[in-house]
A and B are shown apart, each in its own frame.
Chain A
Amino acid sequence: MNIDRFYRRIGVEEPGHIDIRAVAFEFGLEVQFAPLTSCEARIVGDGDRGIITIRQGSHRLRQRFSIAHEIGHWVFHRGKALVCTRSDIGEGWEIGRLREKIADEFAGKLLLPDFLLLPRARKIRRLTFGEITKVATEFRVSKSATARRLVELDLFPAVLVGYNHLGRRWVARSKIVPEHWFPQRDLDAESDVMRCLFSGHELGRPTKIGADAFFDRREAERFVVLEETILVGDRDALTLITITDERMLDDD
């Protein structure tokens, strides 16, 4: 599906024009809010019509993302049941996770479409959470989702890592950064993310740190990277690692 073309068809020219309920409507989906207890959102469809239900009282940005996520299921997974109960182990964890990933990626592109995001991203000299916050505010999307989209545009030599107290949870990366620079699972005692997670306070700016704090490779100790960490949700952190030494960007 071409999201940019879709938005042109419904007259979207600026981030403020993205009315996610109107988008859902264009896909034949009604959006309602209800006191859900088992999940954040759900979608039920039959033929070319569907109903998205969003948990009442959730954060507004989360609700927007959930609607976009369910539209993603509608676009990619129609005709495939995804409701799991305890007695229904269905298709297994891996397939389920892949579908969730597809819906998440679609949601990111729906809320931060290329034709609106790229011109803004190209004006950013160095990616920081300050810049990410500006974009997130303009598009009414969470910092996490915005950071992920910006990093995956492949314009910045950066890796984004989601952490909790136990260590790395997920990674999003720019293709500019060679794959052998993959963040290790464990938290480094010297890192700002460790300090941030355990003190509950953000430093509020990027700091220089040895690359070996994040990358478990022999030559990592020769390089310095920029680390910037913010807290998200109750107990998670988001770390932006920016490669500043061009030698790290060599493929070999």
Chain B
Amino acid sequence: MSRNDETRRQGIDGLVEALMQYIDEANPAEIEELASRGGERTAVVSAARAAVARARSEVAQRRRERVRERMRSASFKPTPDVSQLSLAELKAILAEHVANDDASRTMAARHEKGEMDEAELRSVVADILRLRQNQDE
């Protein structure tokens, strides 16, 4: 996507937001006044609302597509091989990662905790090392 396209999209987004906000928050008397200049009130307002809703929907769809596109093009590092690490090495890496330090840049959490077996310990450590590779980039 060119920079111009992106700028245009941001402009449209901004315009749609402003229009939506205006119509939602405008003083009814003000709308009445505008409508009297442009035609019958209900028809004008509903036509404006429909146009804005359409525009907003199109913008939202483009935003969802952009997220999907970013997801598709994201490249994550491959999972490192941890099969050669000893149990002691695995535990040391995990202990370093989960050290209870509120200023730490690392974090880990588990939902519904039980005792980890060795395979799970290896997979956690693989995740930790993969993230470290990302940080080293």
Contacts and interface: CB of A to CB of B under 8 A. Distances in A.
Between B97, B101, B108, the greatest number of chain A beta carbons within 10 A of the residue's beta carbon is seen for B108
B102 A38 contact: no
Q: On chain B, which size bracket covers the interface? A: 35 or more
Interface in A82-139: 82-86, 88, 90-91, 99-100, 103
A84 B113 contact: yes
Interface string B11-34: 000000000000000000000000
Interface in B121-136: 123-124, 127-128, 130-132, 134-135
B105 A43 contact: no
B67 A81 contact: no
B109 A70 contact: yes
B76 to A, nearest CB: 6
A103 B110 CA distance: 11
Interface string B74-104: 1010000000000000000010011111111
Where chain B touches its partner, the secondary structure class is helix
Contacts of B74: 25
A208 interface: no
A99 B113 CA distance: 14
B73 to A, nearest CB: 11
A11 B67 contact: yes
A51 to B, nearest CB: 5
B108 A82 contact: yes
A86 B100 contact: no
A81 B98 contact: yes
A40 B100 contact: no
A30 B97 CA distance: 18
Contact of A81 (B63, B76, B108, B124): B108
B37 interface: no
A82 B109 contact: yes
B17 to A, nearest CB: 8
A50 B64 contact: no
Contacts of A88: 98
A34 B122 CA distance: 12
Q: Which of B57, B61, B70, B131 has the most CB of A within 10 A?
A: B131
Contacts of A21: 71
A73 interface: yes
A86 B91 CA distance: 13
B1 interface: no
A79 interface: yes
Contacts of B66: 11
A11 B115 contact: no
A45 B70 CA distance: 20
Interface in B104-120: 104-117, 119-120
B112 A12 contact: no
Contacts of B119: 37
A47 B60 CA distance: 30
Contact of A38 (B57, B114, B135): B114
Given A38-B114, A88-B98, 12 more contacts: A10-B63, A12-B64, A19-B68, A21-B71, A38-B110, A39-B111, A42-B109, A45-B108, A46-B97, A77-B107, A77-B109, A83-B108
9 contacts: A11-B64, A25-B71, A39-B110, A41-B111, A44-B124, A46-B107, A47-B105, A81-B104, A100-B111
Interface of A: 8-13, 17, 19, 21-22, 25-26, 30, 34, 36-47, 49-51, 53, 66, 69-70, 73-74, 77-86, 88, 90-91, 99-100, 103
